[in-house]
Structure 1
């Protein structure tokens, strides 16, 4: 799933290629992709793009005097930029193509596709007068790149939290933009167990976690800056230290990276760096062994 660093890179990529250019037409290929009906997609036609912003993991294409085209790539969605689009319009079907945006003349051969792999379709597109009209954006917590996201503000967010810190970091209502992968990375940098209760964190723990959020996201953004969209996924994977690296050696201590599996996701961690050398209980695996 694209998270804050990749979506930030996509926003920069689209800003360079869309700002000042007009939208010709927008075609939803997958019926389920469009989540709004007023304003209609046709309200975007002929509008000049005034800018592209990121809201958490949402991308927001604003038009001059018109609506915003907002989308969330979900778990398996992606954006593919096309300097030369096919001459024939796409036909609805069972393929990965979900939506196509084509620029107006003199750039009518150029645009981008939103695609989604797999059978579970969660990619969501909205056409709204204001990005705050998108429920997911309205519920977002503070952005960790915002100057207002200070240590004091972060401490206040954790006040009263009784959940495991892994779940808190992934909750978009608490902090916008961090998902499963970067929460693993942040906790590894902070040398903290994903199962540690947020309410049990000391001032030193919170400060270490706050610094880990900034450094982990900052480094990932720098690695992604200027990279072509087609290479962003590979860049993200190559930069991860524990997430998705079950069975590999930890780059810090050399211990074996372990995994805890859930019904629809998993987390990775280093026992030596994060849990005092003790493996965490994998409840799903434990049930299989009974």
Structure 2
């Protein structure tokens, strides 16, 4: 009988420990903020700043065109439980924004980073994003100086939402800003190695409108029209002529936007066609990060334009360890 009672006591003790651990884990999970973001670079920036105190869900998968992305039904549940929704803004994610405004908790804030970073008079309009269509070029994150502002906005917003962990958010942000500063400096060094007459970009999608003026380069053409179709014959002829007159050695496509017309343009203009740039798809580990994407882009661009990309060799592209 004593042995039976002892066995029951042990079983109750084990059960109590299990219930305690399980409830502690559940409490820890509940304590984490659920942050819903969109494109991969922004998702990655939020993860670096939020660290262990946030659960970040990016609803735009890697390799998907963010301009034409349409939310799927399962995204409704994700948006409904979000503590904060962080988007790029500048009309990039209009379907996702409309859905979020419809289904989110009334108390859940939506951050539109681009709108909070630039005044309207500083928005860029160009070939792929003409002013008459009313939608500005949204690719601010390809300018590292603007991403520093993104990081500050995310930090301030997380600290306001979760003041108990504001010191951790501050620590993470300072570490991340330091990494961004080193990346920014390295990009300037790389561009300095490119011959001055080669510091011109011809791209498929017009992603580098905010990158080019920051780093002393010029976007001279973008191939993809504003309606995301292929350019017509007359436009192709004009671009080929422009490339020949510019005397650049390479033009750039994207892994996300494969285009046969870019190959034709490069062939007829007698320049190299590099189809490996990315504006929102992160590279494979160990450099699966926004910084890794930028470092890879600039190294590819610098080599193709006859510069020296070794200036990217010491950029730390790994995410902040937690």
TM-score (norm 1): 0.30
The structure having more radius of gyration, on CA atoms, is 2
Which one has the bigger helix percentage?
2
TM-score (norm 2): 0.28
Which one has the bigger strand percentage?
1
